[in-house]
Chain A
Amino acid sequence: MILLRLAPRSFDPCRHTCRVAGIDLAADVALPALAPFETPLAIPVELPEPPAAFEEAAAKVVFRGRAPLGARERFVEVLAGAGGARVRVDEEVFVLSGDGTRVWRTAGAEPPDPDRLGETVLGPVLSLALALQGVFCLHAAAVAADGTAIALTGDSGAGKSTLASLLAQEGWPRAADDILPVDASFAARPRFPQLKLAAAEQPGISLPERLPLAAVYVLAERPEGVRVTPLRPLLATSHLVRQTVAARLFAPDLLARHADFCARAVGAVPVRELAYPRERGIGAEVRRAIAADLREGAA
């Protein structure tokens, strides 16, 4: 479970409950982006007061600088100390417990603006909290195929969302648009808010909480036609490291766990380059190529 106290001066219990990435989440402020994921909870959960003061003097700077968040760049600072981390995004400050199960917003706009807050909480803060619980978020679109998830990765502009839409037209429904949580058993957890999509368009709502990750495809352009190529383990690991959300914000111990995760993932899940021409109607051919690749891998 993750408990979120977002209104520092309020003593409201965490009565706004939902379930994302297979984890129960309870907050004292309703975030609109989480509305599609709401779940009933019989008893509002009380969240203890935050730690008296984050031990800033003893903390190590993990990241300090400007980073893209949503449509613009924001100032981001992460300090890691004994038992937790402090995340600052512009004027918003959060303290996270070391196990990622408690999040306190300790400074920021009053009263909190739920829409603006959603971008920060559901971006770096939640990604970090999930990582501390062993669930790493990939920058990926995804589709569901035959009871599995297929991740589509690549740098911004690589065509992840577009390809997911094309494959959805070919019968593989979208499972993610931009962020795909993956757990330690390499199951994708598609029920996660995709911030670029409206509430009614959230792809993971109708899917199971966990789908085995069948493959990760790194997208590339190839005018000559569709081609699937295995990636060497070193390149595949490097790719997964780079495509993990908020990895720059990981403290050393979490970095080590992340490195283990990526190295194990490459041994357990095929990571391929999927190169194809950017032309109309390519969805069917790409679907056939992926299906053949997965059949070959299973043989």
Chain B
Amino acid sequence: MSAELGPETLLRHRPGILFRDLAGEAVLLDPDAGLYFGLNEVGTRAWNLLGGGATLGAVHAALREEYDAPAEKIWEDLLALAGELLAHRLVERVP
């Protein structure tokens, strides 16, 4: 899945997915599937950026500004997160 994702990939929150902020971290709930998904601080930031219409590349750029970690590591982690969000149907690709 992650091989298909690139800087121009646009993902959006799937309708009906609930988001609850927990002091910087967050929990997502798909009520229809009964699925809970936890996001740490960086994951929460990425989720919010995706919700604002940012491509994966733009999310990566923002996270590089905000977090002190190698760019490659941030990209790897972001791809892994995007893959999980897609696999659990919490986000969907924008054609």
Q: Chain A: residues with CB nearer than 8 A to chain B?
A: 62, 232-234, 237-238, 241, 248, 250, 252-253, 255-256, 259-260, 263, 266-267
Contact = CB atoms under 8 A, between A and B. Distances in A.
Nearest to B25: A234
B89 to A, nearest CB: 14
A2 B66 CA distance: 53
Nearest to B22: A233
Contact of A255 (B22, B23, B25, B31): B31
Q: In the A-B complex, list the 7 residue pairs whose CB atoms are closest, starting with the nearest.
A: A252-B31, A233-B22, A234-B25, A263-B20, A255-B31, A259-B29, A233-B23
A253 B16 CA distance: 11
Interface residues of B, number: 16
B80 interface: no
Contacts of B34: 62, 248, 250, 252, 255
B22 A266 contact: yes
B27 A234 contact: yes
B32 interface: yes
B61 interface: no
Contacts of B39: 234
16 contacts: A234-B25, A234-B27, A234-B38, A234-B40, A237-B38, A238-B27, A241-B36, A248-B34, A250-B34, A255-B34, A256-B29, A256-B31, A259-B18, A259-B20, A259-B31, A267-B23
